[in-house]
């Protein structure tokens, strides 16, 4: 994958769009799991937009754009590594992405339990990123659930997201409120279908 040339000093909006372009290229062939199979990049743009709109620091917004590039490119011909993110976006942003990346060598249930347990130990930027990620995922589960996800499985996901979020609260009150509203809406929507 080509690198977009950087100019020194790079303006913040140039860096932001470079990260968005980087993410769009990495996720070019990836789709969301939902029935509407949205382009994956829509998700990372939404996460970054939520962070930017709620006063998150620049490194959190940039990490929002990049947060799934390592985890979701492992089967690609040119997988994105932590080192690559460090080279392109610096230690701080790459570090926040690393905090939000699951260890895919572990079984899914272990990864999910670890997300709950490790949430309170994350840096503030990573907590905000993970909260915005869960907000985007809860919206997607409510609006366009993955094919084959029955009521029980969606309910289980929403409950788990709530348990992870409990450990992420307290660093950004506006995001905490948005999570709460989104969580309640997802539960209400599912209850209607029952």
Contact range with Zn ion by CB under 5 A, out of 60-68, 112-120, 124-132, 158-166: 60-68
User: How many other β-carbons are positioned within 10 Å of the β-carbon of residue 131?
Assistant: 29
Residue 59 sits in the site that holds Zn ion (CB under 5 A):
no
Tell me whether residue 51 or residue 190 sits nearer to Zn ion (CB atom).
51
Closest separation in Å from C-beta 26 to Zn ion: 13
Closest separation in Å from C-beta 43 to Zn ion: 6
User: Do residues 51 and 64 lie in contact, with contact meaning Cβ atoms separated by under 8 Å?
Assistant: yes
Closest CA relative to residue 44, chosen from 137, 146, 149, 178: 137
Tell me whether residue 70 or residue 190 sits nearer to Zn ion (CB atom).
70
Closest separation in Å from C-beta 88 to Zn ion: 19
Residue nearest to Zn ion (CB): 133
Residue 99 sits in the site that holds Zn ion (CB under 5 A):
no
CB neighbour list of residue 39: distance below 8 Å, 6 or more residues apart: 27, 30, 31, 32
Residue 72 falls in the annotated catalytic set: yes
Residue 88 sits in the site that holds Zn ion (CB under 5 A):
no
Residue 71 falls in the annotated catalytic set: yes
Residue 133 sits in the site that holds Zn ion (CB under 5 A):
yes
Strand-pairing partners, residue 31, are 39
Residue 46 sits in the site that holds Zn ion (CB under 5 A):
no
Catalytic residue among 72, 88, 99, 133: 72
User: Do residues 190 and 154 lie in contact, with contact meaning Cβ atoms separated by under 8 Å?
Assistant: yes
Please report which residue ranges of the chain form alpha helices under DSSP H.
12-26, 40-53, 58-66, 82-99, 108-118, 124-143, 151-166, 173-193
Closest separation in Å from C-beta 72 to Zn ion: 8
**Tokens at residue 184, please?**
């309640």
Q: Which residues are catalytic?
A: 71-72
């Amino acid at each position: 994958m080509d690198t977009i040339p950087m100019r020194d000093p790079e303006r913040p909006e140039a860096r932001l769009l470079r990260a968005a372009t980087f993410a769009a290229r990495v996720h070019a062939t990836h789709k969301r799991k939902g029935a509407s199979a949205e382009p994956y990049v829509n998700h990372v743009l939404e996460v970054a937009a939520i962070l930017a709109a709620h006063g998150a620091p620049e490194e959190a917004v940039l990490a929002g754009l990049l947060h799934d590039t390592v985890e979701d490119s492992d089967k690609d011909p040119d997988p994105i590594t932590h080192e690559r993110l460090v080279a392109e976006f610096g230690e701080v942003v790459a570090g926040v992405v690393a905090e939000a990346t699951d260890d895919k060598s572990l079984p899914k249930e272990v990864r999910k339990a670890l997300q709950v347990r490790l949430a309170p130990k994350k840096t503030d930027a990573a907590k905000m990123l993970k909260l915005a990620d869960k907000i985007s995922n809860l919206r997607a589960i409510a609006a366009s659930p993955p094919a084959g996800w029955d009521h029980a499985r969606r309910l289980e996901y929403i409950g788990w997201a709530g348990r992870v979020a409990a450990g992420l609260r307290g660093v950004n009150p506006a995001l905490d409120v948005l999570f709460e509203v989104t969580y309640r809406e997802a539960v209400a929507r599912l209850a209607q279908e029952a």
